[in-house]
Structure 1
Amino acid sequence: MFVYKNPAFWGPLLLGGIIYAIYNIYRRSEKRGIEEKLPYKKKKSSTTYTKDSEMAVVAPAIIIILIIIGWAILGPFQAMYSQCYLARHLDTEEITELPDMDPSVVRIMPQFVAERYARDALQYPRFKLGTADIAFVAEKPCWVFPLIPDGSINFFVLKDKGAAYVDMNTSRKSTHIVEKDMEIGPGMGIRDWYKWKLYKEKYWVDYEDPYFVPVDEELYIAVPIVSYEYHWRFPTLYTIPKWSGTALINSEGEIEFLTPEAVLEHSVLKEQKLYPERLTRYYVNSFRYVHGIVNKLLYHREQLEIAEVPGQQNEQPFFGGYKRSQWCCGDEMVHCL
């Protein structure tokens, strides 16, 4: 996936391979032409052998050096071009005040406190907490921690046990565990790992962090999907990431790939956060390039920067408690002459 979404990586490799193939074809045709002109086949001298051997080593070395130079030149262009494109083409709306808050979904519980509460509630010695995420349970936002196998042996032989949920709408300890054996999921190896199964079905995409959604007696794993569009700007191709739906996995390991339109109407995901978190941060970061690459690198005039919160496990964007579920990212303006 790294190669697919980074044309600046495979571009120089492809060009170097083409040059090397052309060079070999030229050498063989030249040698064949010389041999055909000779009245008899002449035994190769040691000098000719030495020259051929030297060229066999020097030519690949030169091509490898050119490939490395290509990576060094094209890599930064690809990274900057993607964000320049997004800064100019993202569909944005200017507002003068923040949307109305929904008091029923205000986040009060910090992630590190929720993790402590979930760990205290965990009664399974062979399992541990996985990576935290956010899910809605009965229309209330919760920190959700998957229960994944603990230890190198259990990693291969055990299944995920379910998930722990901590109500983030209160400062009190409010924790419950949904116990459900999952056929595939995070923290399991190797063929039971959820990404192994997903990439077998749909490879040319990226999968964001999963979150567990309880519905009645069933437990689902929702995995946002990020795909890539190719664009060209001299001197390289570059890719633009976009949200292309969600993969929904039930406890039996059955996978359903949903388009963004289908996700909005799906009964399991209708009240959940849908848009990928890291993609949101990437989009917001792209506004550093709204006045161009030169301004971003040198002048920094009216340049937006994400205002980081020191000492916190979870970085921005934060999931906002508005009437509509939205990611919220606080920024600051940089002025520099």
Structure 2
Amino acid sequence: MAEIDISGDDDDPDVNVSASGSRLPSFLGTRLVILAIVVGVLYLVRPLIHGIVYATLYTPSGLVLFGGTAVTALVLWFLPPWRLERDEKRRSMVSVLFEDDESPAGDVLASSGSAMRKLRIFGGIVTVLFVLSVLVGIPAGALEQRTLAQQTMADATELDEFPQANANNPRVVPREVSDVTTRGSVSYRTHRLGASDIARQEDGSLAWSYPIEPDGARNKLLENQRGVLVANMTSMDEQQITVYEADFTHGEGMWLHRSARWNVKLGGYLSKYNDEAVEFSHDGQPYLYYPKTGHEWHLLPLPHTTPKWNGGALVHPDGTIEHLTPEQAQENEILDGQRLYPMTLTRSEMGSLGYREGIINQLPVVGAHEGQIEVAALPEGANNEQPFVIDLEGERMSYVTAMEPYGEDTRGLDEVWLADAETGEYTFFGTDEETLTGPERAMGIARNEDSQTGWGDNFVVTEPVPVTVDGDLWWHIKVAPTDYTDVTRNVFVNADANNAIELSDDTAIREFIRGDIDEDELTAGENGTDVQPAPDGEDVLYYVLITNDNGEVVDRIPVKAGQDTQIVAPGDERATDNETAN
């Protein structure tokens, strides 16, 4: 038996540590076996702890807190237990490690006391690590935003004018209306429609897509996803619903090891899956695609990380999962035309632009806020969030983010950013000294266009989405009843001139986005006219309203499909070019 005796005064009592090495190998071996079992179980269920592991590897605060906690736990786990005894005569503390001549009861008491002391030590260290993680995370978070803003600005291209929207794929049907009408058109006893998302159909049009996932605890454990349902979003006259049925081996709404998200994490553990799955079809077969986000470390000036695109995981109905790099995803025939770039990554990159002029510049009190921008806030009832998904000419899906100047009272747009949904390439349009109308004011203008409607009681304006027509930015807003059972009309508000036009016909909407209807000649600000929809007219697309200086309507002229219209300003002998309503 080895004995260590350390003597001291009353304030530092003698400490006698008596230990035997005969039981130490057995103790360490037992602890090692138990640890191996725990690690094995955690490995089998590793998708459940994916968030903690990823945060440990790719965030400075997570590395300090979770990494430090793991190391502390391991050290205390393998540290042999000790029993404390006080010898009053010698006023010393005796710590006995595995004394062979002690009774089993004594060993139990020793282990119990040692465990409690270890727990107190563990709690104290974890508290310190938590404080350190906060202190580390604050500067690391600011540096992450600054570096991400620099990377985003360096890779972006400034535009001279807005790219043209795809007139064949307008977002006519808002999500809420699609959710209500689609769920009211299908009937499943054991399944339900999952969360809706935007995907491209095989004919090139955009649609709201839904996974047909199991419903109820029993079915989530035993049943499979039955396929994908898509509802066309580009037509308000007739809802087109298509179902692509197939039993997914790994799908949405399936629990634990049967779920698609569980299995994509198994094959791509060093990535995050923050985005919802994109549900779509190819050659009549349904598929799921999960965008992947990764991180990279930067050591200077202080260690921090920034997110990046890691590709995506393509899930086949038979359970095959392809983990693709960004280049492989863009070249994959099945994924052609779909959204590949993580939308949550775009949201993070856009949010970081407030730091592009430096960390100090954006700080409260001491910051000058020069050139600082922030993501434009959407008003209550907008029922969507940025970035917006729109389709540009050539069937190029894009994420659009409207940015406003920093400030509590600023609601006008300063810049508009577009991210290619397939490549992640950024372009942006700066308004320079001119400020464009934001979504909040645009929704107010849309309400003011029709003062006879019972806004809030019977109808709402919803889902403002930016569209670009002939180099101009417009807010495309929908009008729907409060129960979201239909779309009554679409309103377009010019972000520059604040002119508004209401259309209730699919053909007219496409013609307007294509630029075949010149709204500048049909507004009160230009020639004393306004536009009013004609939902009850058999062939009428809209009415031209002639108003006086007081805004009172003095004439109402119907415009039919194929009819030439000519507007002449009062006192102007020149006529405008003929415009044909199609």
TM normalised by structure 1 equals 0.85
User: Equivalent residues in 2 for 1:118-267 (5 A)?
Assistant: 118-137=182-201, 138-172=203-237, 173-207=239-273, 208-235=275-302, 237-267=303-333
Residues 40-92 of structure 1 show CA distances to partners (whole Å, capped at 9, x for unaligned) of xxx96364259x98986775454233212112212222322211101112211
Task: State how far apart, in whole Å, the 1-side matches of 2:117 and 2:316 are.
Answer: 58
On the 8 A contact 1:302/1:335 being kept in 2, the answer is no
Deviation at 1:294, TM superposition (A): 2.1
Task: State how far apart, in whole Å, the 2-side matches of 1:170 and 1:326 are.
Answer: 20
CA change 1:141–1:63 in 2 (3 A) is same
CA change 1:169–1:58 in 2 (3 A) is closer
On the 8 A contact 2:278/2:339 being kept in 1, the answer is no
The residue aligned with 2:143 is 81
On the 8 A contact 2:61/2:134 being kept in 1, the answer is no
On the 8 A contact 2:65/2:126 being kept in 1, the answer is no
Task: State how far apart, in whole Å, the 2-side matches of 1:124 and 1:334 are.
Answer: 48
On the 8 A contact 1:206/1:227 being kept in 2, the answer is yes
Deviation at 1:305, TM superposition (A): 1.3
Task: State how far apart, in whole Å, the 2-side matches of 1:22 and 1:111 are.
Answer: 53
Residues 12-53 of structure 1 show CA distances to partners (whole Å, capped at 9, x for unaligned) of 454577789999xxx99xxxxxxxxxxxxxx96364259x98
Root mean square deviation of aligned Cα: 2.9
Question: Equivalent of 1:307, from 352, 373, 376?
Answer: 376
Deviation at 1:11, TM superposition (A): 2.0
On the 8 A contact 1:226/1:243 being kept in 2, the answer is yes
The residue aligned with 1:32 is none
- The amino acid of 2:135's aligned partner reads I
1:10 and 2:75 aligned: no
1:319 and 2:384 aligned: no
SS in 2 for 1:170: coil
The residue aligned with 2:130 is 68
CA change 1:66–1:248 in 2 (3 A) is same
Deviation at 1:210, TM superposition (A): 0.7
SS in 1 for 2:140: helix
Deviation at 1:141, TM superposition (A): 0.6
Task: State how far apart, in whole Å, the 2-side matches of 1:70 and 1:284 are.
Answer: 29
CA change 1:180–1:18 in 2 (3 A) is closer
Task: State how far apart, in whole Å, the 2-side matches of 1:321 and 1:21 are.
Answer: 53
CA change 1:185–1:49 in 2 (3 A) is same
1:94 and 2:158 aligned: yes
TM normalised by structure 2 equals 0.51
SS in 2 for 1:288: helix
SS in 1 for 2:156: coil
CA change 1:158–1:16 in 2 (3 A) is closer
Task: State how far apart, in whole Å, the 2-side matches of 1:100 and 1:56 are.
Answer: 66
The residue aligned with 1:38 is none
CA change 1:77–1:139 in 2 (3 A) is same
Task: State how far apart, in whole Å, the 2-side matches of 1:234 and 1:309 are.
Answer: 36
The residue aligned with 1:292 is 358
On the 8 A contact 1:316/1:329 being kept in 2, the answer is yes
Residues 171-228 of structure 1 show CA distances to partners (whole Å, capped at 9, x for unaligned) of 2322222222111111101211111111111211112211122112321111111111
Task: State how far apart, in whole Å, the 2-side matches of 1:268 and 1:325 are.
Answer: 16
- The amino acid of 2:194's aligned partner reads G
On the 8 A contact 1:288/1:305 being kept in 2, the answer is yes
On the 8 A contact 1:118/1:165 being kept in 2, the answer is no
- The amino acid of 1:88's aligned partner reads Q
1:116 and 2:175 aligned: no
The residue aligned with 1:39 is none
Task: State how far apart, in whole Å, the 2-side matches of 1:126 and 1:306 are.
Answer: 41
- The amino acid of 1:99's aligned partner reads P
| Structure having greater relative contact order (Cα 8 Å, sep ≥ 6) | 1
Task: State how far apart, in whole Å, the 1-side matches of 2:257 and 2:122 are.
Answer: 38
The residue aligned with 2:561 is none
Task: State how far apart, in whole Å, the 2-side matches of 1:56 and 1:95 are.
Answer: 62
SS in 1 for 2:183: helix
CA change 1:14–1:155 in 2 (3 A) is closer
Task: State how far apart, in whole Å, the 2-side matches of 1:22 and 1:249 are.
Answer: 42
Task: State how far apart, in whole Å, the 2-side matches of 1:135 and 1:67 are.
Answer: 44
